[in-house]
Amino acid sequence: MVTGTIRYSEQDFALSQSALSSARPLPLWQGACAMACLGAVIGFGLATLLARLLEPALPALSDYTAWGAVCGAILLTSAGAWRLSAKLSPAQQATLQLSQTFILDESGLRLRTETAETYMSWAHFPAARIESDLIVLQTRDATIVVLRPAFVADQATWSDAQRIVSAHTANPSA
Q: At 147, which CATH number?
A: 2.30.29
Residues spanned by the domain of 74? 28-84
- Which pLDDT does position 20 carry in this prediction? 53
In terms of domains, do 122 and 39 share one?
no
Which neighbouring-strand residues pair with 105? 108
40-49, 69-78, 102-111, 124-133: which is most confident: 102-111
The answer to whether residues 144 and 138 touch, using CB atoms and an 8 Å cutoff, is yes
In terms of domains, do 53 and 117 share one?
no
Final residue in a domain of this structure, among 60, 84, 108 = 84
With bands split at pLDDT 50, 70 and 90, how would you rate the model's confidence at 16? low
Going by C-alpha positions, the residue among 46, 17, 36, 44 that lies closest to residue 80 is 36
Query: Mean pLDDT across the stretch 45-61?
Result: 83
In terms of domains, do 94 and 166 share one?
yes
Which neighbouring-strand residues pair with 3? 103
Final residue in a domain of this structure, among 42, 69, 84 = 84
141 pLDDT above the threshold of 90: no
In terms of domains, do 59 and 111 share one?
no
Question: Going by C-beta distance under 8 Å and a sequence separation of 6 or more, which residues neighbour residue 90?
Answer: none
In terms of domains, do 52 and 105 share one?
no
In terms of domains, do 15 and 98 share one?
yes
In terms of domains, do 119 and 42 share one?
no
Final residue in a domain of this structure, among 39, 62, 84 = 84
In terms of domains, do 143 and 95 share one?
yes
Of the two residues 24 and 116, the one the predictor is more confident about is 116
The total of structural domains in the chain comes to 2
For residue 89, give the DSSP letter: P
In terms of domains, do 17 and 100 share one?
yes
In terms of domains, do 74 and 100 share one?
no
With bands split at pLDDT 50, 70 and 90, how would you rate the model's confidence at 28? confident
In terms of domains, do 167 and 131 share one?
yes
- Which pLDDT does position 157 carry in this prediction? 94
Q: How far is CA 129 from the centre of its chain?
A: 14
38 pLDDT above the threshold of 80: yes
In terms of domains, do 111 and 160 share one?
yes
145 pLDDT above the threshold of 80: yes
Each residue's pLDDT tens digit, 63-97: 888 888 898 888 888 887 777 666 666 766 666 77
- Which pLDDT does position 117 carry in this prediction? 93
Q: Strand pairing of 100-105 and 108-112? A: antiparallel
